[in-house]
Structure 1
Amino acid sequence: MNQGAVAVGPVLAVVLVVLVILAAAAAFAGQLGVSRAVVTASLRAVLQLAVVSLLIAAVVNSWWATAGFILLMLLVAAYTSAGRVGARRRMVLVLLPIAAGSLPVGALIVAAGTTPLTEIALLPIAGILIGGAMTATSLSGRRALDELRDRHGEYEAALALGFLPRDAALEVCRPTAGQALVPALDQTRTVGLVTLPGAFVGVLLGGGTPVEAGATQLLVLVALLAVEVIAIAVTVELVAGGSLSRPVSR
């Protein structure tokens, strides 16, 4: 067994069950209303990773399969973000900021030769970038739409002052939507001091040197900043332009 790998067996299963129970119990005790979500999310993770673990060997041996898997990642990310934003019927529009952030940055990383042009290297990079874009889109979209709803009076006041609808909406929703970047900024600022994120640990577990691990993590963190900034900017524009909105309650 690889000395840096997690031991797979009954002990791991027991530890995972205990951790899920602990998280759900803490959520229940704190009356956070997410106890069930903790359990269902954990179960989904188990099932999805089990399937991916079985399929990954076949996927990374074919460029077509790898491309298909990346497309699936994009669609699932858009579906998830659309649900979080409250605009499931606008899933196609939610796909725009996720793709606009992750695809160009991923292409730049590969074209520059900073990562090998192989299926096994491209797939995890794509997953990291798409995941970051999904989170940024969800957070910024929710904040922007919430602000327009809660501060509708300010929006109307801006219109009365002669602002165009897009500009009035931007005045209200852009400042708070930018807060969606806070998690990425904090992780980048504190990397190595507070956390050793996944890319760093993964390279070490794979036998790389600490320098190689640090370089890989730096690339990932800066790339994620670029991805998330682009995703947030596109999301805010879609909201301000009225393209991305929630269904009107009747």
Structure 2
Amino acid sequence: MAQGALTVGPVYAVVLIVLVLLAALATAAGRLEAGRAVVTASVRAVLQLGIVSLLIAAVLRSWWATAGFIGLMLLVAAATSARRVSTLRRGRLVVLPIVAGALPVGVIVVAAGPVPRTTIAVLPIAGILIGGAMTATSLAGRRALDELHNRHGEYEAALALGFLPRDAALEVVRPTAARALVPALDQTRTVGLVTLPGAFVGVLLGGGSAVQAGATQLLVLLALLAVEAIAVAVTVELVAAGALRRPFSEFL
């Protein structure tokens, strides 16, 4: 076992259960109405990571299997973001900002050489980038649609002044949607001072040096910043163009 590697056993299982209970109790004490979501998300994480842990060795033996797994990641990310933004059917175009953010950045970091061109390196990088794009798309989409609904009078006023529908919508939604980048910006600004994110810790636990860990984390953070900026920009355009919308019943 590598130095610093986690020990998986009964104590590990107990710690996980305690953490879930602590999160559930905190939501209950704060009356946040998210206790059930905390538990179900935790159970899903256990099941999904358990299955992935069993399958990953087989997946990584083949580039075709790795590509298929990345495709599955993309579909799940798009479905999750679609439900957050609108509905699965009406929000299906969220796949565009996710792909627009993750694909070019992923190609750059792999093709340029910093990330080894091996399945064991490409798969986790793809997962990180797709996950970042999903989160940014969900946040930007929800905020943009909320703002367009809450400030619909301003939108109509802009139309009355001669603005095109897209331009009128952008005037309303762009400032708020841009706040979807705040988590990525804060993490990038404070890395090493407040947090040591996952890539840094992962390299250290895997036996890498602190310099290697820092270089890896820097690449991941800046790649995520680029991914999320692209995803937010594309999401805002889709909302402004009316391509992303909510069911009419939600506005009643």
**TM-score range relative to shorter protein:** over 0.9
Q: List aligned pairs for 1:130-141, cutoff 5 A.
A: 130-141=130-141
Amino acid at match of 2:64: W
Aligned to 1:124: 124
Per-residue deviation, residues 117-158 of structure 1 (Å, max 9, x unmatched) = 000000000000000000000000000000000000000000
**Aligned-residue offset at 1:247:** 1.1
Q: Give runs of ≥4 in structure 1 deviating > 2 Å.
A: none
Q: List aligned pairs for 1:127-166, cutoff 5 A.
A: 127-166=127-166
Aligned to 1:55: 55
Query: For residues 70 and 5 of structure 2, what CA distance do their matches in structure 1 show?
Result: 26
Query: For residues 92 and 26 of structure 1, what CA distance do their matches in structure 2 show?
Result: 34
RMSD (CA atoms):
0.8
Query: For residues 168 and 71 of structure 1, what CA distance do their matches in structure 2 show?
Result: 36
Query: For residues 162 and 41 of structure 2, what CA distance do their matches in structure 1 show?
Result: 47
Name the count of aligned residue pairs: 250
Per-residue deviation, residues 213-247 of structure 1 (Å, max 9, x unmatched) = 11110000000000000000000000000000011
Query: For residues 136 and 9 of structure 1, what CA distance do their matches in structure 2 show?
Result: 35
Query: For residues 211 and 90 of structure 1, what CA distance do their matches in structure 2 show?
Result: 46
Contact 2:133 2:231 (C-alpha < 8 Å) held by counterparts: yes
Consecutive unaligned residues in structure 1, runs of 5 or more: none
Identity %: 78
Aligned to 1:185: 185
Aligned to 1:41: 41
TM-score, normalization: structure 2? Answer: 0.98
Contact 1:239 1:245 (C-alpha < 8 Å) held by counterparts: yes
Contact 2:91 2:245 (C-alpha < 8 Å) held by counterparts: no
2:174 is equivalent to residue 174 of structure 1: yes
Amino acid at match of 1:80: T
Aligned to 2:101: 101
Per-residue deviation, residues 168-205 of structure 1 (Å, max 9, x unmatched) = 00000000000000000000000000000000111111
Contact 1:200 1:216 (C-alpha < 8 Å) held by counterparts: yes
The secondary structure found in structure 2 opposite 1:90 is: coil
Amino acid at match of 1:188: T
TM-score, normalization: structure 1? Answer: 0.99
Amino acid at match of 1:99: V
Q: List aligned pairs for 1:7-22, cutoff 5 A.
A: 7-22=7-22
2:204 is equivalent to residue 225 of structure 1: no
Q: Which structure's relative contact order is higher, taking Cα pairs within 8 Å and 6+ residues apart?
A: 2
